[in-house]
């Protein structure tokens, strides 16, 4: 192997070593957020007398409309890992977002709110501690 090729191989190896911490930092910068969209959730379609048949054609069409809106908003942050999507009692999703992605979503007219994904419990049986809770998928 020539000296030039050896030098190039060493430089390429060093460049990949230095690239790993940057990627790790980018992943570490992502935090869990709950994103609420402006359109009301499926539960808002229930009337006070008959309730809501989630298997009805109307409910399925409304859910499909909410899911399409969610896809459009998620297109603003294509690299964000989505943790959960909600349509029944809440219209939105939970995702791992960077600060720049949070700002992009907050600027969208379709987004009502972007909130950090942690939940604080005042009484959990073991005292008054802050806990991280995972949202449960409603679908």
Distance, CA of 130 to chain centre = 21
Q: Quick one: average pLDDT of 86-114? A: 98
In a domain, 7, yes or no: no
**Res 47: pLDDT:** 75
> At 108, which CATH number?
3.30.70.80
Stretch 103-118: mean pLDDT, rounded?
95
Q: Is 83 exposed, middle or buried (0-12, 13-18, 19+ CB in 10 A)?
A: middle
In 3D space, the residue among 45, 130, 28, 47 whose CA is nearest the CA of residue 87 turns out to be: 45
In tens, the pLDDT along 47-90 reads 766 788 889 999 999 999 999 999 999 999 999 999 999 999 99
> Quick one: average pLDDT of 83-110?
97
Which range among 12-16, 77-81, 83-87, 91-95 shows the weakest confidence by mean pLDDT?
A: 12-16
Token readout for 18 is: 């230095």
Structure tokens at 47: 């009337």
The answer to whether 111 and 69 are in contact (CB under 8 A) is: no
Considering the domain boundaries, does residue 16 fall inside one?
A: no
Instruction: Estimate the share of the chain in helix, then strand, then coil, as percent rounded to the nearest 5.
Output: 40, 20, 40
Do the domain assignments include residue 2?
no
Measure the CA–CA gap between 105 and 113, rounded to whole angstroms.
9
State how many domains the chain has: 1
What's the pLDDT at 127? 55
If we measure between CA atoms, which residue out of 36, 44, 34 comes closest to residue 112? 36
- DSSP E strand boundaries for the chain: 31-37, 82-86, 92-97, 111-116, 119-120, 130-131
Residue 12, in any domain of the structure: no
- CA–CA distance, 65 with 129 (Å, rounded to integer): 39
Residue 127, in any domain of the structure: no
Q: Which domain holds residue 108?
A: 30-120
């Amino acid at each position: 192997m020539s000296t030039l090729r050896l030098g190039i191989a060493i430089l390429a190896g060093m460049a990949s070593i230095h690239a790993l911490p940057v990627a790790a930092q980018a992943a570490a910068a992502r935090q869990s957020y709950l994103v609420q969209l402006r359109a009301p959730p499926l539960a808002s379609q229930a009337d006070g007398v008959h309730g809501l048949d989630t298997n009805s054609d109307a409910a399925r069409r409304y859910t499909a409309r909410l899911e399409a809106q969610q896809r459009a908003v998620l297109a603003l942050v294509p690299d964000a890992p989505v943790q959960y999507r909600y349509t029944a009692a809440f219209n939105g999703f939970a995702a791992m977002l960077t600060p720049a992605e949070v700002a992009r979503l907050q600027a969208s007219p379709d987004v009502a709110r972007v909130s950090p994904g942690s939940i604080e419990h005042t009484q959990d049986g073991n005292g008054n501690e802050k806990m991280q809770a995972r949202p449960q998928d409603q679908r």
